[in-house]
Amino acid sequence: MGKQLKQPFQERKIFTERIMVSVIIVSLVFLLLLSRYFYLQVIHHQTYSDQAEQNKFKLSRIDPTRGLIYDRNGVLLAENITTYKLQITPEKVKNPNQKLLDIQSIVSLSDEELTQIKEQLKYNPVFKPLTIKAKLTEQQVAQFVVQKHQYPGFNIEPYLNRKYLHPIEFSHLLGYVGKINQAEFDRQDSAIYANDDYFGKTGIEKYYENLLHGTPGQLITEINAQGKQLSQEIQKPPINGANLNLTIDLQLQKATYQAFGEETGAAIAVNPLNGEVLAMVSKPGYDTNQFIYGISQSNYNALATSNEKPLFDRSIKGGYEPGSTIKPYIALAGLYNQVITPEYTMFSNGYYQFSKKKRRYHDWKQGGHGQVNLVNSLAESVNVFYYDLAVKLGIDKIHAFLDPFNFGRLTGIDISGEKQGILPSRQWKQANRDMIWFPGETVITGIGQGYFVITPVQMAQALSILASKGQVSPLHLVKKDPQTNSLPFQIKAAHWDTVHQGMISVINAPNGTARVIKSADYLIAGKSGTSQVFGKSEKDIYKKNNELPKHLRNHALFIAFAPAEQPEIAVVVVAEHGSSGTKAAAPIAKKIIDSYMQATYPKQQNMAELTDE
């Protein structure tokens, strides 16, 4: 075979083409790199410069300290204690779900907690620590420190959290804080709240959340390329929450709770001269501390399903007929409207009856009380006197007179959850029942029955006005300058005195229905009442309440103020299913007043000394 001839021209052509292709490829790569460089260094220079700076300086939140709560004498009621929480930073954990299972060798997480954490991880920024367990024990903290190298991205942080020093007695009044939920978080300013913050759920804690919470600060931390912390500086200091000084007296609050013994119900003690609430109790209470870190489902179910309803705040939400405790106000309405005079008398034969009507409205005393005047009508709680007076007044005048005493309206007291109550009228019934008003409904309104509904806090406001002879001081729980007004109408001093004398006679007259609580040391004015739980037929009207099952017995009410001539304390008591205001509620009121008077006047003074001051 012959030797292959070279083709120099063809070879140069191929070589040139390859060079050109290479030059084009290199040029394209260079242009691509140049455009990327331009993109990074010119177009997005500021963005990446900021990111680089953030890699060097990390901003973190400094939690504010929640404000403390004190009683009127500066005694601490709610404090903050140091505890520890376990947090996860998602971006530093390769398999968060698996690690959450692994770490249960140190801290146990229920299925409910795991589900909640996994849900929060969906919305939590990956760089932001998320709390997965609060209130760690010392043993858990020590165990984690030993095994920390196995859990990169997990960390333990100290923090301050709430503790209630008298949780049972103050359970409804102070309320409690708990971990903020998503709905609450969405309503707050994200610059102030984090999604693992604690938030006021009920009571004072909820009402004053904005004051108590405070404003977080910012901490700037310098970190090198290896992640080592170089320095820290507070960029913005936190503003701690404000402290609250309540009008409540701790010792009186405890005495009020204990005064109930085995009874359930509510009691409120106020200063009628300035509207300060001295004690406010709903019994039974519950341990609010167990709600802070998340109460177990079984413990919550036990509270929620209890027949005694410990979670229900009777003092501001409980609705009761005022019963005979309304009689002093009806008497005052009769005097003001000149329907009766202080000297007016009538004969009580045991029932009231409209002309040509069969129905009888019975007195509590079978056979009646005979001839009675206004003072005796209160002392003996004569139903027939107030049936007749209510009819003489008419429902329109009754409603117009009682409305400024705050019946049927919110008091506006500074606590969350207050219910309104009902002051019945023609307009109310038409709007709420789509029915006209009947004369018989006026009759029973005179003794606080029918559609009439009060809450203990509403009655406390009304009693404050009655005790102070027309001075309207809005009830409040946090100390502030008093705001005092007057009723929109003028009531004669003689009329106030007559009604007060009737209430004094309830306790101090030989025929008074609550004479068993008469004090030898000071003068008490009061009025008992019963709130019907269910209606009785006419033939069963005199059937004794203690013959009925407990849950069907009437609620027992008592209102009182002392010293009667210069009131310093006014008390409202509701003893649920207590049957008799005199037997169940009045002794509770007496214990509360005794506690106040003994603390205020430690050396025994006689009645004359107190009332002559």
Q: Could you tell me the sign of the dihedral formed by the alpha carbons of 400, 571, 525, 369, in that order?
A: positive
- Which residues lie across from 131 on neighbouring strands? 87
Interaxial angle between packed helices 327-336 and 456-467, expressed in degrees from 0 to 180 and rounded to the nearest 10: 50
Which residues, other chains included, contact 606 with Cβ-Cβ below 8 Å and sequence gap of 6+?
520, 521
Q: Could you tell me the sign of the dihedral formed by the alpha carbons of 83, 88, 92, 95, in that order?
A: positive
Neighbours of 549 (CB within 10 A): 7
Which three-class secondary structure state does DSSP give residue 458? helix
Cis peptide before 158 (omega within 30 of 0): no
Q: Are strands 69-70 and 244-245 parallel, antiparallel or unpaired?
A: parallel
Residue 507 contacts residue 525 (beta carbons within 8 Å): yes
Residue 100 contacts residue 132 (beta carbons within 8 Å): yes
CA 520 – CA 507 distance, rounded (Å): 11
Torsion of Cα atoms, 430 then 434 then 436 then 440, to 10°? -100
Q: Please confirm, yes or no, whether 324 is among the known catalytic residues.
A: yes
Give me the catalytic one of 171, 315, 324, 580: 324
Extract the tokens encoding 505. 């006679």
For residue 188, which phi and psi values (nearest 5 degrees)? Answer: -100, 165
> CA nearest 187: which of 209, 158, 220, 202?
209
Q: Is 203 exposed, middle or buried (0-12, 13-18, 19+ CB in 10 A)?
A: buried
> CA nearest 395: which of 454, 440, 345, 430?
440
Residue 363 contacts residue 304 (beta carbons within 8 Å): no
CA 514 – CA 530 distance, rounded (Å): 13
Q: Are strands 471-472 and 485-486 parallel, antiparallel or unpaired?
A: antiparallel
- Which residues lie across from 266 on neighbouring strands? 282, 574
CA 471 – CA 487 distance, rounded (Å): 7
Tell me the chain's radius of gyration from C-alpha atoms: 36
CA 369 – CA 345 distance, rounded (Å): 12
> CA nearest 465: which of 604, 554, 332, 358?
332
DSSP string, 48-99: HHHHHHHHHEEEEEEPPPPPPEE-TTS-EEEEEEEEEEEEE-GGG-S-HHHH
Catalytic sites, residue numbers: 324
